[in-house]
Amino acid sequence: EAQVTQNPRYLITVTGKKLTVTCSQNMNHEYMSWYRQDPGLGLRQIYYSMNVEVTDKGDVPEGYKVSRKEKRNFPLILESPSPNQTSLYFCASSSPANTEAFFGQGTRLTVV
């Protein structure tokens, strides 16, 4: 089954404690992205990657890092989480051939 898998689904952490949210896709897609979703603001892109070792900032990259060492994986790293990073996070992947992006189930992060 074609899918994008994020882990964990839920995470509560404390300010300053480094964390990583993993994302993996099994569709051999070149493009991958991370979004955060906040009430009234829709989804905003954090980082995106057009291929292995190629990453670029989205609209709200501050406080986040990503890496793309393998085509299937695109982890999101919060080196020093802060409460304003409490949000619902989505990973997505897509092919250059079309516009359809496939989203994961989401990771709800709470930073206290």
User: Which spans of this chain sit near another protein (rule: CB under 8 A)?
Assistant: 4, 31, 33, 35, 39-45, 48-50, 56, 58-59, 90, 92, 94, 96, 98-106
Q: Which is nearer to another protein, 39 or 62 (CB)?
A: 39
Handedness of CA 100, 105, 111, 112 (dihedral sign): positive
User: From the CB of 34, what's the least distance to another protein, in Å?
Assistant: 12
Q: Which is nearer to another protein, 40 or 112 (CB)?
A: 40
82 by Cβ neighbours in 10 Å (0-12 / 13-18 / 19+) ranks as: exposed
**Counts for the chain of helices (H) and strands (E), in that order:** 0, 11
User: From the CB of 104, what's the least distance to another protein, in Å?
Assistant: 6
Q: Which is nearer to another protein, 14 or 41 (CB)?
A: 41
Q: Which is nearer to another protein, 1 or 16 (CB)?
A: 1
User: From the CB of 17, what's the least distance to another protein, in Å?
Assistant: 26
User: From the CB of 16, what's the least distance to another protein, in Å?
Assistant: 27
* Residue 43 CB neighbour total at 10 angstroms: 16
Query: Can you tell me which residue has the tokens 């493009």?
Result: 31
CA–CA distance, 109 with 13 (Å, rounded to integer): 8
